[in-house]
Structures are given as structure tokens and as C-alpha cells.
Structure 1
Amino acid sequence: MTPERLARINQMLDNRQVDLTVCLDKVHKSNNIAAAVRTADSIGIHEIHAIMPEDSLWVSGNTSSGSHRWVNTVKHVTYEHAYQQFKAKGMQVLATTFSADAVDFREIDYTKPTAIVLGNEHDGVSEQAIASADQHIIIPMVGMVQSLNVSVAGALIMYEAQRQREQAGMYNQRQLDYKYCQTKLFEQGHPIYARACKRKNIPYPTIDEQGQIDADEQWWDKMRAPDVLSES
């Protein structure tokens, strides 16, 4: 791994926000899913959630331009399961919807642990999500259209959250655990060896401060050994 690659990965890990997330409530168009994942990655969101009764609807590996490698995705069959996870983490749940109680999305304090629920292209946020949300939020509009594309709306809200968190000094502080960071450094810094580990069923080694593999001779012997072919 080059020093430049190491620095970039470490910068990403240092800026991941573990208590800020987005929940895609049955968003089914692959371009919208991909755009949301890319925006989440760009502002440092560590993990997103998706209500996806049909697994086949989820974004493929290529449509998000590799963002899926950096942003963890948690799929749920029902919204209730996702909501329980948000509450277990002490998150405020925000639903994007028009209602008498909705407030300008910029009035929210995003420095608090937060889950932002974005609705699908046709029906918006589900009734269950609307009913259980701590707050409804809207994006003020003065034109003729009533709503924005879900990925555009999500981007506006996520970047407002980033702005507030940057002002509060919540970036450049690593919150991810050591094991996860080591995994990312190895998989993304040494992808050929990572694939070989999976193929040969060899545990991942440690990555040192220079980004190099720190493993004993036994590990290297296993890595050099020919693959064992299964009998047909």
C-alpha cells in the first residue's frame, strides 16, 4: 500500500460518523439508491439502512461507483426492525414528509445521534415511519413543484448535518473500533492478499502504521502455499 493510499483510507476512517445514518424506506430505483450511498460516503456516514422486502431491488456493486465498499448497508424487511435499532442507539428519528408538524430541515440539531428517513419515489415515507418519527422535516420550496428527487432531498439534509457537525468539531476524531479499521486497511490497501485470505480461509493479518502487512512466517507460508482444489 502506498503512503498516499494509506493516508486517504486513514482520513476516511477518522471522519466516519457512527451516530448519523440514513434510512431508505423502500426506495427502489437503483440510480436513487446509488446516489444516496455516494452522498452518505462523501459526508462520512458509516452505515445506512434500507427497508427492502425484495433483496433483488438493492443497488448492485457497480452503480454506486464503489461507495458500497466504504459504507456499511443494513437491510431490513420491515421498518419496525430498523426503528428499534435506531432507538436502541439513542437516535432521534426524522421523517421527510409534509405534515402540520413538519419543520424546516435546517432547524434540526444534527449533532445529536440522528436517523434520517427518506421515502420512496411514489409514496414517500411509509405511514409507520411517519407515525413513529420524533420529528417531521421538510425542504422549503417556492417553485411550482412540490417535492425533490429523493436522492437530491437526501443530499441537502445530509450536507446540513455535515455542516453542523463540522462546526461542532465532530470530524477528525476516530470513532470506529480497531478491528474494523484493520479490516478496511487490509481489504482496501492489499486487495489481492485479502482475496487470497478469503479463498484460502486464512485470518487477516495486522496492518502496521506504515500500511504494510505485519504477519509471521507461518502466515506467509500459508499465503504462498498452492490453493487446495476441492474434489469434483
Structure 2
Amino acid sequence: MTPERYQKFQQVLNRRQLDLTVITEDVHKPHNFSAIIRTCDAVGVFAIHAVNSRSSMPIYNQVAKGSEKWVACHTHTNIESAVSDLHQQGLKVYAAHLSKQALDYRMIDYTKPTAILLGAEKSGVTQKAADLVDGHIIIPMLGMVQSLNVSVAAAVILFEAQRQRLAAGLYERVHLAPDIYEQMMFEWSYPEVAASYRQQEKPYPRLGTKGEIIIS
């Protein structure tokens, strides 16, 4: 661990947004799932949520470029539990879904606690999911196609959220609780050592100002 890399980890964690997330519903293609994770990392999303009722979780591929190491993924057995969990955390959930009440995605205030629900590649979000959320959003299409690839849609919406949050100064303060911050710093800095400590059910040691392990 070099001081420069440790400082980079600090800069990234300082900007992680706890109340901005994504739910994927049966997004089963590894290429798309990996691209969504990569975008989440790029805009500072701390964790995403995945529901896969039709198959197992997609396997990360090269598109992620290692981003899966920096974005936690919480899995859910069904869409009801995923949406309920986020509602209990105080987030509003908006589905990318074409309906009569759907709003232009730019009309949403993403500075508020927000989750974006994205559906399967061909069929989109299920009607059950559409009925559970707080609202529907669309990306206006001016050409012949009616929708974007799911990973592209995720990027378009998330970077609008980033734009709004940057303007509101939400990336200028740390959102993580101190204990979670220290935990993530250790796991990012020393993943193999962290795995060993977890296996032994021992607490992580402290890190010094330059990222060195302090054994007391």
C-alpha cells in the first residue's frame, strides 16, 4: 500500500453517496450488469441492489474493469423485498418505465434519497415492480428506437443525478459513518488480510495516516 493509493481510496470514499442507488430487476446479461456497476462506481454510488428471480446473478466480466470491488451488491429474492427495504431506508424508488404517468428523467430531484429501478433487457420492469414504486421515468427518444440499452439508460440517468448532486454540494461531505468508513478503507487497502481477519472472526487493526497497518 503506497501513500498515494491510500489517499486515492480516501478521496473516493469521501464522495460515496449512501442515498443514491440502483435496483436491477432480472438484468441477466453479464455485459450489461458489469457496465451498470462501472457507471455506479463512476458517479459515486456506494452500493446497488439486484433482483434475479429467473436466473443466478450475472458473472462479472471485463467491462466492469474491477469496479465490482468498489461497489457493494446486495441481492434480493424478489422485487417486493428490494423496494420495501429501500422505502424503509427513506429512499424514493423510480422505475425506468414507459407509462402514461412517466416523467422526463430530468424532472426528478436526485438530491433527495433516490433509487433507480431498471428492468430486464427485453421486457423492462415487470408490472408488479411498476406498481410498487413511487414514480416512472423515461428518457425521451427522438429517433426510431423506443428505448436505450439498459446499461446506457443507467448511465444517462445516473449522470443526471451526479450533475444535480454536484451542484448541491453533496459530494463535498462524507456520508459514511466512521466505523463503516474505517471498515471499507481496510478492506480496499488490504483485501487478502481483511479476508483472513474475517475468517478468524477478529476485528480489523487500525490504519495509520499513510495506510500502514498498526498492530497494538
Q: Give the TM-score band, short-chain normalised.
A: over 0.9
Query: The residue matched to 1:57 in structure 2 has which SS?
Result: coil
Deviations 1:97-149 (Å, cap 9, x if unpaired)?
11111111001100010010001111101111111221110001111111100
Contact 1:205/1:215 (<8 A) preserved: yes
User: Runs of 5+ in structure 2 lacking a partner?
Assistant: none
The Cα shift of 1:43 comes to 0.3
Letter aligned with residue 167 of structure 1: A
Aligned length: 216
Contact 2:52/2:77 (<8 A) preserved: yes
Contact 1:118/1:125 (<8 A) preserved: yes
User: Runs of 5+ in structure 1 lacking a partner?
Assistant: 217-232
Note closer, same or farther for the CA distance 1:8–1:57 as it changes in structure 2 (3 Å cut). Answer: same
Contact 2:28/2:55 (<8 A) preserved: no
Deviations 1:66-112 (Å, cap 9, x if unpaired)?
21111111111110001111110111110111111111100110001
Q: Aligned equivalents of 1:156 and 1:113: distance in 2?
A: 18
Contact 2:43/2:159 (<8 A) preserved: yes
Letter aligned with residue 21 of structure 2: T
The Cα shift of 1:203 comes to 3.2
The Cα shift of 1:186 comes to 1.9
Contact 2:34/2:61 (<8 A) preserved: no
Query: The residue matched to 1:87 in structure 2 has which SS?
Result: helix
Query: The residue matched to 1:56 in structure 2 has which SS?
Result: coil
Matches within 5 A, 1:145-184: 145-184=145-184
Contact 2:30/2:61 (<8 A) preserved: no
Q: Of the two structures, which has the highest relative contact order with CA contacts closer than 8 Å and spacing of 6 or more?
A: 2
Letter aligned with residue 160 of structure 2: E
Note closer, same or farther for the CA distance 1:12–1:176 as it changes in structure 2 (3 Å cut). Answer: same
Residue 228 (structure 1) aligns with: none
Rg larger in 1 or in 2? Answer: 1
Residue 125 (structure 2) aligns with: 125
Q: TM-score, normalised by structure 2?
A: 0.93
Query: The residue matched to 1:22 in structure 2 has which SS?
Result: strand
Aligned-residue identity in percent: 44
Residue 105 (structure 2) aligns with: 105
Matches within 5 A, 1:63-212: 64-198=64-198, 202-212=202-212
Letter aligned with residue 193 of structure 1: V
Greater Cα shift, 173-182 or 83-92: 173-182
Contact 1:50/1:76 (<8 A) preserved: yes
Residue 17 (structure 2) aligns with: 17
Q: TM-score, normalised by structure 1?
A: 0.87
Note closer, same or farther for the CA distance 1:114–1:201 as it changes in structure 2 (3 Å cut). Answer: closer
The Cα shift of 1:54 comes to 5.5
Contact 2:23/2:118 (<8 A) preserved: yes
